[in-house]
Amino acid sequence: MTAKIVIGLDGSEAGDRAVAYAKKLSSLIGDCELIALYVIEWSPFSFQTAEENAERHKRREAEIAAATSRIVEPAVNALKAEGFVARGMVKHGHVADSLNAVAMAEKADQIVVARASDGGIASRVFGTSTAHLAMTAEVPVTIVG
């Protein structure tokens, strides 16, 4: 049975540390798939007109494309180049909830995330999400410093 590890990417050096640790775990496990996940914070709680919703959908699609090409694909390609079995995805939603939902849907054995991003508002958002994930995840979570 193949083990699965979900890696929370955030596009920073902190996220790179999570990838490095997941690679180490995968090497120790042997038969393991790495799932690199980038979550775009997205609130479903907004009342908008039909025109605003159409524009929001366009923005959402553009954000997914940008995150895929700038963050997820390079991470997955690097993992594959090193011989790891890996795939990636981008989701919209709350970071902790999305990481947990993907882990459950994929029947993952573990989630690996960084403690916090390396700066700015992303640090506060991801740091809070990491704490929430540690308290609510339905699979073990490893938080990399």
Whether the model clears a pTM of 0.75, i.e. scores above it, the answer is yes
Give the phi and the psi of residue 51 in degrees, each rounded to 5.
-65, -45
| Structure-token pair, residue 90 | 């981008």
Q: Over 80: is that where the pLDDT of 49 sits?
A: no
52 burial via Cβ count (<10 Å: 0-12, 13-18, 19+): exposed
Q: Over 90: is that where the pLDDT of 115 sits?
A: no
- Smallest CA-to-CA distance from 35 within 113, 143, 132 is with 113
Report domain 3-144's class. alpha beta
Give the phi and the psi of residue 117 in degrees, each rounded to 5.
-70, 170
Domain locations in the chain as residue ranges: 3-144
Question: How far is residue 102's CA from residue 107's CA, in Å, rounded to a whole number?
Answer: 8
Confidence of residue 59 (pLDDT cuts 50, 70, 90): confident
Average pLDDT, the chain: 87
